A and B are shown apart, each in its own frame.
Chain A
Amino acid sequence: MPKDQGIGASTKRREDVRFLTGTGNYTDDINLHGQLYVHFLRSDVAHGKINSVDTSAASAMDGVVRIFTGADFEGIGGLPCGWQVTDRHGEPMKEPAHPVLAQGKVRHVGDPIAAVVAESVQAARDAAEAIEVDIEELPAAVDMKEAVKDGAPLVHDDIGTNLCYDWGFVEENKAATDEAFANAAHVTTLELKNNRLVANPMEPRVAVGDYNRANDESTLYTTSQNPHVIRLLMGAFVLGIPEHKLRVVAPDVGGGFGTKIFHYAEEAFCTFAARQLARPVKWTSTRSEAFMSDAHGRDHVTKIELALDADNNFTALRTETYANMGAYLSTFAPSVPTWLHGTLMAGNYKTPLIYVNVKAVFTNTVPVDAYRGAGRPEATFQIERVIDKAARELNVDPIALRRQNFITEFPYATPVAVEYDTGDYNATMNTLEEIADLSGFAARRAESEKRGMLRGLGVNCYIEACGIAPSNLVGQLGARAGLYESATVRVNATGGITVMTGSHSHGQGHETAFPQVISEMIGIPEEMVEIKHGDTANTPMGMGTYGSRSLAVGGSAMVRAAEKVINKAKKIAAHLLEAAEADIELKDGTFSVAGTDKSVAWGDVTLAAYVPHNYPLEDIEPGLEETAFYDPSNFTYPSGAYCCEVEVDPDTGKVTIESFAAADDFGNIVNPMIVSGQVHGGIAQGIGQALLENCAYDENGQLLSASYMDYAMPRASDVPFYQVDHSNGTPCTHNPLGVKGCGEAGAIGTPPAVINAIVDALRSGGHDHVYHIDMPASPSRVWAAMQK
């Protein structure tokens, strides 16, 4: 019988009650006394010199309190970048200034020029229209390969190039890799694009800045995945407010997908303006604004080559990627195409030699940063697409070619600097073949063909590195932050527990899953445990939620803190039971003396800790509250095998997903229902990328897809019911829970499965020239591919 409490139980998400009944507390629900509203006047050209900004007429309009421009931020720090990449020649990346409001030039459509603070949103918007801006439009750098050529328009004149860095990894392997290609029996080459995406969380970004003159304290309420990181970045680098005078609160957050990791200009502006005006200042993004101010994702152009020997063993892999940075470096942008991408290029395969070259390019577009998967979807798409093409060129079964090259012994040190601790790729592939009913595919294809439809099957694997990350390692790689996590376990006198985690939940279900772990450890009902997060005033310094790290790193910190609590409680219990501490056992919420019937309940021990009348005060302090910081010793390596079946209408090119199966290895599972939900959402986003979503710019740098009319988000009718399995867990060897992380897997593993399936379908229809279709595989692209 399935468990109904603790680790392994599919406990229903307690937070959903408030989300589904309209009683959540999102940032936009926060309204403070005397609050003002800000509207940002944004550039409608991609690149231009600001000749003048005349705010005089606008300033005189009703309700306008003050209009800020770039000049108000002279001498104030710009938005910092949190990761420095060193290029293949040992030089640091180019790191341009990123002012809060544009100074001298605008560099992308949406770049904020002025900020109108007014008594109402309407007054602020009206006044923004009355600001007279004289901008001399300049030619824009849009296409990455054009942007790095001599004579291209420069996004940042002072750095003299649009090339942020030219990264080689592993540079020492380059010569040997090239030699392996020279000696290869077969080389498969594929050029592909990883389309630019916009994350589109359901809740747009919001910021409310507040300032208390009485104690000189600033508070920022913001839609963030990591409030402590924002406090540190904004306080130390932008506004110069020490952390003890700055509180950052990220209350209920309606989805992040990476785009709410970063520190944004609007956050700094609202905090700054609130101090200047001594009144709260609120900004709520519109959906149109989100398209041109939220960091975008992906946008890589890649050439990948795979070398094989005469027995079809992979002998080497080589890539050249252009990665779009956009106009400025967003907080973690440089790390995405490098350390979150290059280190994953081994995939699930024992390719001995790998060389990855990444050229990061500035363009006059919105900054690009991490989006669900961040670098790993790009790596997986390349590897799994080139393997698929190789299988077709060599006329071998794509699954057999993968199995032949699987890594099967662990731990395994890849040639790209990471060590996989555990995994069983054949096991997940076996499960996939079963749940996707691969043996029945031929019959399903025949049935589709009877109806005049082309049916295709696509299979691929993925591996990701998550649970980021060992601080000493990422420090060597250029991170300007540690990546530990923290938790405080506060046991209350009557036995209930409040856990304050530095992790942040914006859809992941921490409030349900974390209590399951505590419940398991102590043997008390989950309902006795409450999770607090998102407020720097009452949680220990934490690094937040991204990179599928909450349970693996934040959960581990909570386990460590809970262990400390249990150890202390055992001391108290030993005192109460007049027994040796070593003989005390904790089970089902009761402390007992081993081998006797003497016991004391959890609640009696916790009460004694706070009412220490009969208490070993000479040995231990009263109270029962412990904090732990956990720094992982390695990444975790979830992996899996995915299968997609499509039908393609040969007359229109329209693709329909007929079925989708995912077999994942997430290590140990705390809440199977939540894990399945995470996989479902990830697959939907992966299908969105593969079939529908595309952020498009024209040659002048105008953003063309900035509403849901033109940016096609996946809808319920675009996705099938999924077959999801996570029974093949090989526990992570280095965190106390043995968990690996599941948040990004679906978005990583799905796109190649969809494209592999479409290529398979077209080839089954006699279109043997088709080896690849760029994402999104829209009907027009699929139809065009069939016409060649």
Chain B
Amino acid sequence: MKMSDSREIAASPEVVWAAILNPEVLKECVPGCTEMSGTPEEGFEATVVQKVGPVKATFKGQVNVSDMNPPNSVTLSGEGKGGAAGFAKGGAVVNLAPSATGTTLTYEVEANVGGKLAQLGSRIIDGFAKRMADQFFTRLQEAIEGPADADAAEAADANSDGKKKGWFKRLVS
């Protein structure tokens, strides 16, 4: 399965670059991620709990970072093993380009699933993967920019138990 899309992020390519290679940011942004550690140089170890159709599983896997060209492009590749649920593996090529509003992030993802995930979920896996990618980049955008609406951001700051929106940008700016 292949998919591609792009996002406008209101931050410089350098800020976006730093964000997508930060394990803390990745943990916040990867849907269902419960653990994330490592470095871009040595790769990241991740644990993700997800439910694909009828298959719910804990995926443990390694994400490797290659072709690093800061702050322009990077390739992420990895494989997650979900035990009896099967496996998912794939890669993403992420490109960052300066734009009028900050950065245009484009990505091309190629993903494959195997085992029970393929047997039970093949019909829904494309939609599932698209949703995962959407959620990831939406969270990344929020982590970097904060929500579009300033009042909502304040409300979120006051009420949220988790990380505050725009926290990463504030961290590095």
Contacts and interface: CB of A to CB of B under 8 A. Distances in A.
Interface of A: 44-45, 109, 125, 128-129, 288, 291-292, 696, 698, 700, 702-707, 709-710
B119 A698 contact: no
Contacts of A702: 112-115, 118-119, 122
Nearest to B118: A702
Nearest to A699: B112
B114 A706 contact: no
Given A44-B86, A125-B84, A128-B84, A710 B114 contact: no
Contacts of B87: 44
Nearest to B113: A702
B130 interface: no
Contact of A44 (B115, B120, B122, B123): B115
A203 to B, nearest CB: 21
Interface of B: 53-54, 83-84, 86-87, 112-116, 118-120, 122-123
Contacts of A707: 119-120
Contacts of B54: 709
A692 to B, nearest CB: 15
A709 B123 contact: yes
B122 A129 contact: no
**Closest CB pairs A-B (n = 3):** A44-B115, A706-B119, A702-B118
Given A702-B113, A709-B123, A710-B123, A129 B118 contact: no
A109 B86 CA distance: 11
Nearest to A130: B83
A60 to B, nearest CB: 18
B62 to A, nearest CB: 14
B122 A710 contact: yes
A700 B114 contact: yes
Contacts of B119: 109, 288, 291-292, 702-707, 710
A109 B117 CA distance: 12
B34 to A, nearest CB: 18
B122 A288 contact: no
Given A44-B115, A109-B119, A129-B83, 18 more contacts: A44-B114, A45-B114, A109-B118, A129-B84, A291-B119, A292-B119, A696-B122, A698-B118, A698-B122, A700-B114, A702-B112, A702-B114, A702-B115, A702-B119, A703-B118, A704-B118, A705-B122, A709-B120
21 contacts: A44-B115, A109-B114, A109-B115, A109-B119, A125-B84, A129-B83, A129-B84, A292-B119, A700-B114, A702-B112, A702-B113, A702-B118, A702-B119, A703-B118, A704-B118, A704-B123, A705-B119, A706-B116, A707-B120, A709-B123, A710-B122
A703 B83 CA distance: 17
A696 B120 CA distance: 12
A148 B49 CA distance: 41
B155 to A, nearest CB: 41
A288 B121 CA distance: 13
A703 B114 CA distance: 8
B126 to A, nearest CB: 12
Contacts of B114: 44-45, 109, 700, 702
A703 B116 CA distance: 9
Nearest to B79: A137
A704 B117 CA distance: 9
Contacts of B86: 44
Nearest to B125: A704
Contacts of A128: 84
Contacts of A292: 119
Contacts of B115: 44-45, 109, 702
Contacts of B83: 129
B49 to A, nearest CB: 15
B83 to A, nearest CB: 4
Contacts of A700: 112, 114
A45 B53 CA distance: 20
A72 B120 CA distance: 32
Contacts of A698: 118, 122
Q: Which of B54, B112, B118 has the most A CB atoms < 10 Å from its CB?
A: B118
A534 to B, nearest CB: 32
Q: Which of A109, A125, A698, A702 has the most B CB atoms < 10 Å from its CB?
A: A702
B9 to A, nearest CB: 34
Contacts of A44: 86-87, 114-116
B80 to A, nearest CB: 12
A128 B85 CA distance: 12
A702 B54 CA distance: 18
Contact of A288 (B53, B113, B116, B123): B116
B82 to A, nearest CB: 9
B33 to A, nearest CB: 21
B51 to A, nearest CB: 15
Nearest to A696: B122
A705 B83 CA distance: 20
Q: Which of A44, A128, A129, A706 has the most B CB atoms < 10 Å from its CB?
A: A44
Nearest to B81: A44
A702 B114 CA distance: 6
A125 B116 CA distance: 15
Given A128-B84, A129-B83, A704 B116 contact: no
